[in-house]
Structure 1
Amino acid sequence: TPLQIVSELNKYIIGQDNAKKAVAIALRNRIRRQKLPPELIDEVTPKNIIMIGPTGVGKTEIVKRLSKLVKAPFVKVEATKFTEVGYVGRDVDSIIRDLAEVSVQLIRKEWSSKVEDKAKQLVDEKIIDCLFPVSNKRKEQKTNLLDGSFYSGIEEEKKESFDISTKKDEREERFERTRRKFKDKLEKGELENRLIEIEVEENIQPTVEVFSGSGIEGMGINFKDILGRMFPQKRKKQKVTIAEARKILIYTETQKLIDMDEVIRAATDRVENLGIVFLDEIDKIAGQEKSYGPD
């Protein structure tokens, strides 16, 4: 309710009761709008709020705290930076693009926290695999099997095969026992300073010169994403401590568990329904005096 929102804002901002009530009512209206039938949602448009006051009274802080309270994407822009497009200004379309990027990061962070436990389990298994590679064990078993059966006769081969299978079972049991032992140590944090070798992606982007123009920002082109698809990132082996490897691998595994298409859809929906744009310094372009570009 608006009363609860105002009481929450009172914990961080002193005074400014009218502003707090205005944003609380606006937030309630937005929530009500989402509950309307689809054919009526487009008929109800959220209103803008103008906050007037000297520097430092808490205008920005009210909106920032409100966005954190409801987990809404929030972006603050200075109006004076959008007044001379083509010279030193920016296109207003970039405001919504920035808001959408903030929303994507917000949704990704929320979803990452949900799959963090599963990602940690996968990372622990990968670290154990680095300490005790399973492939090397299998190669060793295959070599022993060949060595034991190639130079023996038919009768001796059966005996050797039985002995080898017995040794193989013992070796597997010993391997798994050692693996579990180190896994327990890993969970207790006793191996954090031990060095292991992992594969990481090289964050090297190809150098491409782009000539900026008046409409380059309004084109909606993300050159970094395009180049990332054209030039796949190379992987390199790197020796790091287990503590450092865990940070790198948790991020990688978390991204694998998240469906980015779903993230983008959820982020778009949140921008449309809860997005907040804070226009600062709007009084500097709303005065009576006239100002033009450098020409």
Structure 2
Amino acid sequence: MQNLTPKQIVEKLDRHIIGQSDAKRAVAVAIRNRWRRQQLEADLAREVAPKNIIMIGPTGVGKTEIARRLAKLTAAPFIKVEASKFTEVGYHGRDVESMIRDLLDKAIAMVRSEQAVIVKEKAEKAANERLLDLLLPGSHEATPQPATPQPSDAGEYVPAEDSEERKQRARDRIREQLEAGKLDDREVELSITSKPQTSVMFANMGLDQMDPDMANMFEKLIPEQRKSRKTTVKDAREILIDQETDKLLDPEKITSEAIERTESGGIIFLDEIDKIASNSNGKSGGGSPDVSRQGVQRDLLPIVEGSAVSTRHGTVHTDHILFIAAGAFHVASVSDLMPELQGRFPIRVELTSLSKEDFIRILTEPQNALTRQQEAMLSVEGLNVTFEPAAIEAIADLAAQANATLENIGARRLMTIVEKVFEQINFEAPEMKEANNTNVTITDSFVRDQVAAIVKDKDLSKFVL
């Protein structure tokens, strides 16, 4: 995916996101620049800073979706954080460095998942052998001495070698049944070793903000817990595969690769960054004065500029992590951020509000369009749902009207309208199938009958739509 050209990146984003071409082009160039930097000599590459982006636009126009799809496209570690959740160091709340720790945790999970696929076959074989031991207790005991006779099924004594062969034949028979899934419902007793999650135990203390060495010390002090658990063979297989996978994986190698991937390919989406900006009247983007807003910006600045963040897994350098910030900037503006912080976001793009025509495209063009989701969901109930073009237009029109008269929440309004249109059908779907009423056509009049009355009542619209 690293070799995708900006045009190819935009084309792939177009499959899921309608419009906002400026924002798509900006993120496409930022990703391509990251690949270009990796082709440079090491000394020069270190000096090339990422082209961080600020997206400016109302809610529901695609800011988060662009960043999320971009991360999927590039298989990069990605997290979304709300800037308003952080507080200045010294106040109660999360510190800004916790976002780097969260990003590294995501990278570790990604690398572990990829490595688990590589050792999957070995882990499955080892898990099956352990299942055979549970199903055939004693089948792997030491081979008896040849001089010791063993009783046969008929009662006479046979050489020990024959007894061992019988055990192996029995094991092979059980293995065949196990692999064929014939024993999936049989119960076995497993011994499971687990360690209490320190993040839960020390939730009030904020373990993620604790000194990494101290956090590791707490983890080592807490003993592992061993308990027996009865479960089916099917469920036991999954547990044992996980255990065998852990044995085959190299934690240090995973951590090392995850840190490298975080530093060179990580993406952090900073939402609601306008909420930590203060305008000339001392008001924050959230509409209320708050002395810690400037403090959050000061704490955020070194992270975006490039610094070393200590985590329980090692030190992460943030110099080449890509930051994509976003905000509506209704009250404050980008210029109300600290000048130093503004300078670290050289690319700024403005996303436009969505029109009725955009809503029609959103309902029909993307692979995950709401109309296709509804068709798929109701097909599970045996219903065949089709939309008339006029019905699509009616949904888009009602969403546009609601955004114009109420608060403009962009494409999120479509989900509310569509859910309202299908409210009765979703409720009656099982009975409709029993009555052989399986063909459902959504028409213009049906849509308006379900929603129009609510749109007209402004007081009711505030609560329903």
TM range (shorter): 0.7 to 0.9
- The aligned counterpart of 2:46 is 42
Q: Would the alpha carbon gap of residues 283 and 23 (structure 1) be closer, same or farther in structure 2, given more than 3 Å must change?
A: same
Distance in 2 (alpha carbons) for counterparts of 1:92 and 1:235:
37
Matches of 2:101 and 2:160, distance apart in 1: 60
One-letter amino acid matched to 1:107: V
Which residue does the alignment assign to 1:65? 69
Q: 1:254: Cα distance to partner?
A: 0.8
Q: 1:96 aligns with which of 87, 94, 100?
A: 100
Report the CA distance shift for 1:208/1:30 in structure 2 as closer, same or farther (over 3 A): closer
Counterpart residue type for residue 20 of structure 1:
K
Structure number with the bigger relative contact order (C-alpha 8 A, sep ≥ 6) is 1
How far apart, in 2, do the equivalents of 1:287 and 1:205 lie?
Answer: 39
Q: Tell me, yes or no, if structure 1 residue 282 matches structure 2 residue 285.
A: no
Q: Percent identity at matched positions? A: 44
Pick the structure with more helix per residue.
1
2:142 corresponds to 1:145: no
CA contact (8 A) 2:146 2:161 kept: no
CA distance in structure 2 between the aligned counterparts of 1:147 and 1:216, rounded to whole angstroms: 60
Given that 2:145 and 2:160 are in contact with CA atoms closer than 8 Å, whether structure 1 keeps it comes out as no
- Which deviations, in whole Å up to 9, do the C-alpha atoms of 1:59-91 show, x marking residues without a partner? 111111111111111111111122444334321
CA distance in 2, matches of 1:191, 1:222: 46
Asked if the contact 2:146–2:160 (Cα under 8 Å) also holds between the matched residues in 1, the reply is no
Residue 13, structure 1, aligned to residue 17, structure 2: yes
How big is the shift at 1:119? 0.7
Equivalent residue number for residue 77 of structure 1: 81
- Contact 1:94/1:218, CA 8 A, preserved across alignment: no
Q: 5+ residue gaps in structure 1?
A: 149-162
Distance 1:250 1:230, change over 3 A: same
Tell me, yes or no, if structure 1 residue 230 matches structure 2 residue 233.
Answer: no
In structure 2, which of residues 254, 261, 265 is the aligned counterpart of residue 263 of structure 1? 254
Deviation at 1:195, TM superposition (A): 1.1
Q: 1:63 to 1:244 in 2, by over 3 A?
A: same
Partner of 1:240: 231
Q: Which residue of 2 aligns with 1:152?
A: none
Q: 1:211 to 1:143 in 2, by over 3 A?
A: farther
CA offsets, 1:3-43, max 9 Å, x none?
11111111111111111111111111101111211111111
How far, CA to CA, are the matches of 1:216 and 1:34 in structure 2?
Answer: 31
- The 3 A distance-change label for structure 1 pair 222 and 109 is farther
- Give me the whole-angstrom Cα distance separating, in 2, the residues matched to 1:128 and 1:48: 55
Judged with a 3 Å threshold, the aligned counterparts in structure 2 of structure 1 residues 187 and 222 are, in CA distance, closer, same or farther, namely farther
Name the amino acid aligned to 2:169. R
Could you tell me how far apart the structure 1 residues matched to 2:220 and 2:187 are? 32
Q: Deviations over 1:194-249 (max 9, x none)?
A: 11122101444689778748x982634573x4333223313233221111111111
Taking the aligned partners of 1:129 and 1:64, their CA distance within structure 2 comes to 45
Counterpart-to-counterpart distance in 1, 2:146 and 2:194: 36
| Residue 146 (structure 1) shift | 8.0
The residue type paired with residue 119 of structure 1 is: A
- Of residues 15, 26, 29, the one that matches 1:25 is 29
Q: Give, in angstroms, the shift of residue 47 of structure 1.
A: 1.4
* Residue 189 of structure 1 pairs with residue 192 of structure 2: no
Alignment map for 1:126-205 (pairs within 5 Å): 126-134=130-138, 137-138=141-142, 141=144, 145=148, 167-204=159-196
Partner of 2:290: 292
Deviating more after overlay: 169-178 vs 14-23: 169-178
1:41 partner amino acid: A
**Ranges in structure 2 where 5+ consecutive residues have no aligned partner:** 283-288, 293-465
Query: Would you say the 8 A contact 1:87–1:293 is kept in 2?
Result: no
Tell me, in whole angstroms, the C-alpha distance in 1 between the residues paired with 2:226 and 2:86: 41
Letter in 1 for 2:262: V
CA distance in structure 1 between the partners assigned to 2:63 and 2:208 by the alignment: 32
CA contact (8 A) 1:196 1:239 kept: yes
**Structure holding more strand per residue:** 2
The alignment's TM-score, normalised by the length of structure 2, stands at: 0.54
CA contact (8 A) 2:83 2:272 kept: yes
Distance 2:171 2:87 in 1: 64
Partner of 2:309: none
